[in-house]
């Protein structure tokens, strides 16, 4: 799963993938990760975009949050990447909000999974 692996490569903290396909019609997966500071958030977002594209995946349809770098949202259609500052992630608690959806073991997932462009 390219997006999750890219985040981990840039030391994204607590990286996880949620399968939201049964509860949302607009996307199938959320990739959630966080960085300790704005520079790291930007670096993670750039790495995600580069690795997904290099793997033959799509370009993001929309990216929001690059001005403040507190919560960068990257909408790829089939999946959405959320890159938070640590404190923003703790505040919004997306994991708790989506606690009823399955978590994907992205580290062991098939590299051909369409969820994140690999």
Transcribe 17-82 into DSSP letters.
EEE-TTT-SS-SEEEEEEESSHHHHHHHHHHHHHHHHHTT-PPPSEEE-TTT-SEEEEE-SSEEEE
CATH number at residue 57: 3.30.460.10
User: Is residue 88 in a domain?
Assistant: yes
* Per-residue pLDDT tens over the stretch 8-31: 999 999 999 999 999 999 999 999
User: Is residue 107 in a domain?
Assistant: no
- Rounded mean pLDDT of the chain? 92
Question: Would you state the pLDDT for residue 108?
Answer: 83
Q: What is the pTM of this model?
A: 0.91
Q: How many structural domains compose the chain? A: 1
* Per-residue pLDDT tens over the stretch 57-82: 999 999 999 999 999 999 999 999 99
User: Is residue 9 in a domain?
Assistant: yes
Question: Would you state the pLDDT for residue 113?
Answer: 52
């Amino acid at each position: 799963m390219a997006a999750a692996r890219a985040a981990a490569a840039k030391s994204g903290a607590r990286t996880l993938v949620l399968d939201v396909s049964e509860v949302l019609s607009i996307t199938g997966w959320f990739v959630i990760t966080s960085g300790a500071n704005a520079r790291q958030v930007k670096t993670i977002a750039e790495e995600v975009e580069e690795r997904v594209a290099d793997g033959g995946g799509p370009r993001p349809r929309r990216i929001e949050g690059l001005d403040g770098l507190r919560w960068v949202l990257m909408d790829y259609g089939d999946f959405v990447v959320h890159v938070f500052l640590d404190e923003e992630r703790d505040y919004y608690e997306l994991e708790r909000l989506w606690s009823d959806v399955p978590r994907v073991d992205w580290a062991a997932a098939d590299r051909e999974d369409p969820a994140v462009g690999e």
